[in-house]
Amino acid sequence: MAYQNSPQQMNEELQKFRDEISCIVVLEKAGYRFDRSESSARHMRFRRQKGESIIVTHGGKGWWDPHNSSSIVKGSVIDLVRFLNPGMSLGNARVELRGMLGLTPSGAEYVAEPKERKPARDPKYMWKNRQAPHPGSAAWTYLTRDRALPESIL
């Protein structure tokens, strides 16, 4: 079925796809699985086969292929559908994306492991018990070389 849309309607539809469809939904539909061990809150890695992975960024709105050095292999959900289906026209991508409107990711969610916090030391204690700079220490090198303080001051 062919749709007769004005350019403005087409642009609005494409923007709706970008706003409402997560790249995660597209990857899950294509058989990719979330790799929690190599993901962070900002960069979620999805794998399908060995050596085949895609990283989702911008809260699910963007993606890139870490295995391709070309800067062209990244973009929005629309670009992702066309990347996963080489040769797919924009019209066919729009048809596929219409079927994904309203879908939410089924299981991929990055949850950060709580880090063990060490009790904060009192700054007064730390200042009193600090080690004085000595020749060869990082502080000594910084103060004498970078800040140009004479050694007699230190």
pLDDT digit string (tens) for 27-84?
999 999 999 888 888 889 999 888 889 999 998 899 988 887 766 789 999 999 999 9
Residue 18 lies in a domain: yes
Q: State yes or no: pLDDT of 108 exceeds 80.
A: no
Residue 11 lies in a domain: yes
68 and 37 part of one domain:
yes
- Confidence band, pLDDT 50/70/90 cuts, at residue 119: confident
Q: How far is CA 41 from CA 28, 44, 87, in A?
A: 18, 7, 32
12 and 87 part of one domain:
yes
69 and 145 part of one domain:
no
16 and 48 part of one domain:
yes
| 81-94 tens-digit pLDDT | 999 999 999 999 99
The DSSP line for 11-25 is HHHHHHHHHH--HHH
Domain count, the chain: 2
- Prediction pTM value: 0.65
- Confidence band, pLDDT 50/70/90 cuts, at residue 6: confident
Q: How far, in whole angstroms, is CA 55 from its chain's centroid? A: 6
